[in-house]
């Protein structure tokens, strides 16, 4: 049995093709269909654009360009790099509850620099996923000024989440 | 037999084909060289449904591996299961207007351990040597055809890989490596096995953690079988590799999200209750879309692709949908 040669197609900011919906008896809006590269192409750096929402949980698409602010959360979050190279700095906050109380949902932006011990850093690229552990402050850096990255966040809807469904979805 | 063993309804092996037949409640299951036969009684009439044994075994494999998953597992337009979380409903014709309108549908609720043991035993008995119902047709061939010929328990006993927080953390699910016999799949030559560069400060090696999720997926040896690979409370990343056709039509009991990580999957969307076609959703790399709570869906993937299934595992959700407290999609937001 002869199969075509395997060629895996990943998307990127520079090269993506958005899929489509063929309607038989339905409404395109029911699918909230977006493409994270298209979203990141028109986002401000580190704007956390909600591309998926299931009650309180969200997926956020982030354009990684330059250096981000510092964030923390009262729960784990995960960052999956979908394009580019991204560096991640982690700091164990001395007093995380003063910034994000235990029942606070979603990412919280810090005012200025984090106070605590350096936990380490991670350099990651396409397909790599990092844990952003509870109580840690984190920031992203796109080290190459010419290459913009794209990050998909697994988190909870919060103050920093930006919802603009009608701009990103098929209607 | 151990005192805890579950008694299932099973015949001795057939003299003719070598396969056993199975019964659970009012349903019976038999197979021969080509086909699986499901029978039930409605309105005093015996009814039967015939499926390719290959298609039937691929569907049973998912029902077993997923623990009956969320919502409905439609084996086809006639037979399937509904997850009742602790119990499970088997149905025939219930979501097919031709049967339903004539009162010829049938459904019965079982305790999950009995249903699971029945299907698990059937799967082991009906799977021949060299046939893997988890594999793509290109990989497993036609060993399912014919009289009983050995078994492949190693393949059908594979368990879904579920992490608590993230694979590779201390005490959590392992990463997939050459050393634990999880080589990269030939369909993903472009997914390199490299790992992120992780530089923890002293004392933080257990918390500063990252891994190559695409590499992890490229080492999947099954199709259409989501793992759980990162967890934020009830938010579950369930990535999976897909090739050929999803062996079931999944009916959602909650909103479910898909993120196409590589390549392309075409989804046929049907009304959950009637099976009438609603839409075709064509997803390419980077696309994100809802599978609404009122549909059933079946995927078609020409090239083995990476799909991130994103679930909200909150056990309260089905009851909230039934009470009308949650929208079936997000169209009200824009
Ligand atoms: Fe599904």
A129 contacts in B (CB within 8 Å)? 166, 210-213, 229-230
Looking at domain B9-155, its CATH class is mainly beta
Q: Can you give the pLDDT at residue A9?
A: 95
* Residues of B in Cβ contact (< 8 Å) with A24: 277-280
With an 8 Å Cβ cutoff, is A165 touching chain B? yes
Residues in Cβ contact with A47 at an 8 Å cutoff, skipping those fewer than 6 apart: A62, A63, A162
Give the pLDDT of residue B192.
74
CB contact under 8 A, A25 and B261: no
Left (φ > 0), alpha (ψ -120 to 50) or beta: where does B328 sit? alpha
Measure Cα distances from A89 to A138, B209, B215 in Å. 5, 12, 23
A contact residues 96-115, partner B, Cβ 8 Å cutoff: none
Tens-of-pLDDT digits for all 334 residues of chain B?
455 689 999 999 999 999 999 999 999 999 999 999 999 999 999 999 999 999 999 999 999 999 999 999 999 999 999 999 999 999 999 999 999 999 999 999 999 999 999 999 999 999 999 999 999 998 998 999 999 999 999 999 998 999 999 999 999 999 999 999 999 998 998 767 799 999 999 999 999 999 999 999 999 999 999 999 999 999 999 999 999 999 999 999 999 999 999 999 999 999 999 999 999 999 999 999 999 999 999 999 999 999 999 999 999 999 999 999 999 999 999 9
Mean pLDDT, range A48-77, rounded to an integer: 98
Across residues A59-71, what is the average pLDDT? Answer: 98
Q: What are phi and psi of A52, to 5 degrees?
A: -150, 140
Whether residue A54 lies within 8 A of chain B, CB to CB, comes out as yes
B312 touches chain A (CB under 8 A): yes
Q: Give the pLDDT confidence of A16-60 residue by residue, as tens digits.
A: 999 999 999 999 999 999 999 999 999 999 999 999 999 999 999
State residue B1's pLDDT score.
Answer: 46
- The CATH code belonging to domain B161-221+223-333 is 2.60.120.10
- According to the model, what pLDDT value does residue B54 have? 98
Which of B190, B199, B212 is opposite residue A128, by nearest beta carbon?
Answer: B212
Q: Is the pLDDT of residue A4 over 80?
A: no
Q: If phi over 0 gives left and psi between -120 and 50 gives alpha, with beta otherwise, what is residue B23?
A: beta
With CB atoms and an 8 Å threshold, state whether B284 touches A18: yes
User: Between chains, do B285 and A10 touch, taking CB under 8 Å as contact?
Assistant: yes
Return residue ranges of chain B for CATH 2.60.120.10: 161-221+223-333
CB pairs under 8 A between A and B: 239
Contact A30 B329 (CB under 8 A): yes
Cα A134 from Cα B74, distance rounded (Å): 39
Longest alpha-carbon distance in chain B? 73
Pick the CATH number of A54-162 from 1.10.357.10, 1.10.8.50, 2.60.120.10, 1.10.4160.10: 2.60.120.10
Residues in chain A within 8 Å Cβ distance of B175: none
Q: Which of A31, A36, A61 sits opposite B281 (nearest CB)?
A: A31
Dist. CA A97 → ligand 1 center (Å): 37
- Residues in chain A closer than 8 A to B211 (CB atoms): 128-129
% residues pLDDT > 90 (chain A): 93
Which of B288, B293, B317 to mutate against chain A (most A CBs within 10 Å)? B288
Cross-chain residue pair B312–A55, CB shorter than 8 Å: yes
B124: its two tokens: 């082991």
pTM, 2 dp: 0.96
Of all helices (H) and strands (E), which one includes residue B259? strand B256-260
Cα-to-centroid distance, B210 and ligand 1 (Å)? 27
A146 at the B interface (CB within 8 A)?
no
Could you read off the pLDDT of A77-92 as tens digits, one per residue? Answer: 999 999 999 999 999 9
Categorize the per-residue pLDDT at A5 as very low, low, confident or very high, splitting at 50, 70 and 90: confident
- Supply angle C-alpha B293, B299, B303, rounded to 5: 145
| Closest CA of chain A from B205, distance in Å | 8
Q: d(Cα B102, Cα B318) in Å, to the nearest integer? A: 28
- Cβ contacts of B234 on chain A, cutoff 8 Å: 57
Shortest distance between the Cα of A151 and any Cα of chain B, in A, equals: 11
pLDDT of B3:
56
What's the CA gap between B98 and A130, in Å, rounded? 50
- Coil, strand or helix at B265: strand
What is the average pLDDT score of chain A?
A: 96
Which residues on chain A are in Cβ contact (under 8 Å) with B330? 29, 32, 53, 165
CB nearest to B262's CB, from A9, A24, A25: A9
Distance B199 CA to ligand 1 centre (A): 38
Residue A118: is its pLDDT beyond 70?
Answer: yes
Range list for CATH 2.30.31 in chain B: 9-155
> Domain boundaries in chain A?
54-162
């Amino acid at each position: 049995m002869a199969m075509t040669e395997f060629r895996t197609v990943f998307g990127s900011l520079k090269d993506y093709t958005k899929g489509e919906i063929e309607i038989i008896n339905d409404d395109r809006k029911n699918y909230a269909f977006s493409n994270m590269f298209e979203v990141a192409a028109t986002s401000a750096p580190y704007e956390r654009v909600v591309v998926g929402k299931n009650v309180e949980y969200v997926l956020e698409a982030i354009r990684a360009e330059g250096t981000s602010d510092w964030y923390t959360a009262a729960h784990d979050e995960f960052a999956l790099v979908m394009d580019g190279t991204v560096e991640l700095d982690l700091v164990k906050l001395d007093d995380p509850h003063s910034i994000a109380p235990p029942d606070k949902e979603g990412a919280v932006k810090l005012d200025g620099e984090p106070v605590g011990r350096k936990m380490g850093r991670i350099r990651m690229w396409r397909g790599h996923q990092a844990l952003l552990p509870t109580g840690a402050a984190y920031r992203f850096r796109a080290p190459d000024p010419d290459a913009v990255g794209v990050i998909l966040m697994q988190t909870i809807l919060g103050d920093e989440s930006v919802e603009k469904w009608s701009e990103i979805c098929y209607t | 037999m151990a005192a805890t063993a579950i008694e299932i309804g099973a015949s001795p092996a057939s003299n003719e084909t070598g396969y056993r037949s199975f019964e659970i409640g009012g349903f019976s299951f038999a197979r021969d060289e080509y086909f699986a036969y499901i029978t039930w009684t409605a309105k005093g009439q015996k009814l039967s449904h015939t499926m390719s044994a290959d298609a039937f075994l691929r569907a049973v494999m998912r029902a077993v591996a997923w623990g009956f998953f969320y919502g409905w597992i439609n084996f086809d337009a006639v037979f399937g299961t509904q997850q009742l979380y602790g119990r499970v409903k088997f149905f025939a014709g219930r979501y097919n207007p031709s049967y339903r309108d004539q009162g010829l549908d049938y459904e019965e609720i079982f305790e999950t351990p009995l249903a699971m043991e029945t299907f698990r035993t059937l799967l082991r008995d009906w799977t021949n040597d060299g046939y893997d119902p988890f594999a793509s047709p290109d990989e497993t061939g036609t060993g399912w055809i014919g009289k009983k010929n050995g078994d492949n328990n190693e393949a059908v006993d594979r368990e879904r890989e579920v992490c608590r927080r993230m694979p590779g953390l201390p005490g959590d699910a392992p990463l997939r490596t050459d050393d634990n016999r999880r080589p990269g799949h030939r369909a993903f030559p472009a997914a390199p096995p490299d790992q992120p560069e992780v530089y923890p400060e002293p004392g933080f090696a257990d918390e500063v953690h990252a891994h190559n999720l695409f590499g992890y997926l490229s080492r999947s040896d099954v199709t259409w079988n989501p793992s759980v690979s990162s967890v934020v409370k009830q938010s579950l990343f369930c990535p999976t590799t897909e090739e050929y056709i999803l062996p079931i039509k999944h009916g959602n009991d909650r909103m479910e999200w898909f993120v196409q990580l590589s390549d392309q999957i075409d989804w046929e969307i049907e009304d959950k209750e009637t099976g009438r076609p609603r839409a075709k959703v064509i997803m390419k790399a980077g696309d994100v879309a809802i599978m609404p709570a009122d549909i059933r869906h079946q995927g078609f993937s020409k090239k083995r692709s990476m799909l991130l299934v994103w679930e909200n595992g909150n056990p309260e959700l089905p009851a909230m949908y039934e009470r009308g407290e949650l929208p079936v999609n997000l169209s009200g937001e824009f």
